[in-house]
């Protein structure tokens, strides 16, 4: 999987994204919406309105990579409740993997264990 280090965080754009955007357009969303530095190495997920395509933006240490997936049939899980407001959604790497494989529970049920305070 991309970004196999436990330190890599995954952030999803919580609204439909215009996937015609390339490197600069998606990097602009990372800076303006997420208010994060792309060069920190985190993964940023964008899904289109029809939920048939997704792009993942990642800095690999030498440059920006875009990974794209278009489903042959079916749809990605809907991560947003209200398409008019773009929230930031944190995912685990496992949740990202399930979502990219087409699991329909992502975003509907919490599948990551809750953080325990001692």
Residues ≥6 apart with Cβ < 8 Å to 23 = 57, 64, 66
If pLDDT is split at 50, 70 and 90, which confidence band does 2 have?
A: low
Q: Rounded to two decimals, what is the model's pTM?
A: 0.82
Tell whether the model's pLDDT for residue 117 goes beyond 80.
no
CB 77 within 8 Å of CB 103: yes
Tell whether the model's pLDDT for residue 86 goes beyond 90.
no
What confidence score (pLDDT) does residue 97 get? 87
Residues ≥6 apart with Cβ < 8 Å to 99 = 45, 54, 76, 77, 79, 91, 106, 107
Tell whether the model's pLDDT for residue 118 goes beyond 70.
no
**Rounded Cα gap, residues 10 and 90, in angstroms:** 6
Query: Nearest-5° angle of CA 98, CA 66, CA 91?
Result: 35
Of 10, 16, 4, 102, whose CA–CA distance to 56 is shortest? Answer: 10
- β-pair type (10-14, 87-91): antiparallel
Average of pLDDT values for 49-59?
93
Average of pLDDT values for 51-71?
93
What confidence score (pLDDT) does residue 8 get? 83
Tell me, rounded to whole angstroms, the distance of Cα 71 from its chain centroid: 16
Encode pLDDT of 6-53 as tens digits: 778 899 998 999 999 999 999 999 999 989 988 988 999 999 999 999
């Amino acid at each position: 999987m991309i970004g196999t280090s436990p330190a890599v965080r995954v952030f999803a754009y919580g609204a439909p994204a215009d996937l015609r955007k390339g490197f600069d357009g998606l990097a602009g969303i990372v800076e303006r919406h997420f208010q994060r530095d792309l060069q920190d190495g985190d993964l940023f997920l964008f899904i289109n309105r029809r939920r048939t395509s997704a792009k993942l933006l990642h800095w690999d240490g030498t440059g920006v990579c875009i990974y794209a997936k278009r489903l042959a049939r079916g749809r990605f899980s809907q991560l947003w409740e209200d398409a008019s407001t773009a929230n930031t959604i944190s995912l685990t790497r496992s949740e990202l993997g399930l979502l990219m494989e087409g699991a329909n529970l992502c975003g509907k049920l919490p599948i990551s264990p809750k953080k325990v305070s001692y």
